[in-house]
Amino acid sequence: MNSDSNLSELKNSIRERWDANQNYDSGHAHGVNSETEKELWGNGISELVGNNPDIKILDIGTGTGFLALLLGGMGYDITAVDWSMTMMQKAKEKASAAKIPIKFEVQDVENLTFSDDSFDAIVSRHVLWTLTEPSRASKEWVRVIRPGGMVIADIPRQGSDSGKHHYGEEIGKNLPFGNGADPERVMGIFKEAGLGNINLKLLEKQGEQHRKTLLIYGEKI
């Protein structure tokens, strides 16, 4: 599936699935309510981007706002995008209740409308496996960060079969990372997109291996 019309149809089907996912936050695997998950991601990102509250971070595929709320609560300047209006509405409600200022926009995460060099960093959690065109998306992400800015994302575990699990056989088989991703392949895509100093970082806490996450990050050349 590679024509524009087929990709558009695929994206619409994916969006509809997320819009209908009313119980996302209660799913244990998503870790939305896990304090360990919050600790690992908060510490991991702050170690990479620093603690300056003026840092402008774009949360790609925010969903119900896990990273946006976490990082916004830490004082960062957060903009969050997602292509599911239903998921984003939940994120907005949480941000309002917590009184955390976050700019939310409904956008296609593979075709952003922001100007070049708009942000200092991009963060992305549980998104790579959902992309229909990872190479195109990565280039877009790099485009909207300033030179020296950073892209940080988690790599879906190989053999996870997330695409088929969440979307079904027909959609899942058309997602390049729907069954997980080889870190070397993702590193190659990031390099082609214009990132350098690409590295991997393991987020883990002793005794809670089920929350182990592999991050990939790189800086815009």
Taking only the tens of pLDDT, the chain with its 221 residues reads: 455 667 778 888 888 888 887 567 766 555 677 888 999 999 999 999 999 999 999 999 999 999 999 999 999 999 999 999 999 999 999 999 999 999 999 999 999 999 999 999 999 999 999 999 999 999 999 999 999 999 999 998 876 665 555 666 777 788 999 888 999 999 999 999 999 999 999 999 876 766 689 999 999 99
CA 165-168-174 angle, 5° bins: 100
Query: Over 118-166, what HEC string results?
Result: CEEEEEECCCHHHCCCHHHHHHHHHHCEEEEEEEEEECCCCCCCHHHHH
The residue behind tokens 């993702």 is 186
Rounded to two decimals, the pTM is 0.90
Q: Report residue 22: phi and psi, to 5°.
A: -75, -20
Domain containing 168: what range?
4-26+52-220
Q: Is residue 205 part of a domain?
A: yes
In a domain, residue 137? The reply is yes
Q: How wide is the angle at C-alpha 175 spanned by C-alphas 170 and 180, nearest 5°? A: 115
Look-up: residue for tokens 């990050």? Answer: 217
CA torsion, ordered 33, 34, 35, 38, to nearest 10 deg: -90
Strands 195-203 and 213-220: antiparallel
Any domain includes 44: no
Place of tokens 């392949």: 185
**182 located within any domain:** yes
Here the CATH number for the domain that contains residue 123 is 3.40.50.150
In a domain, 33, yes or no: no
How many domains does the chain contain in total? 1
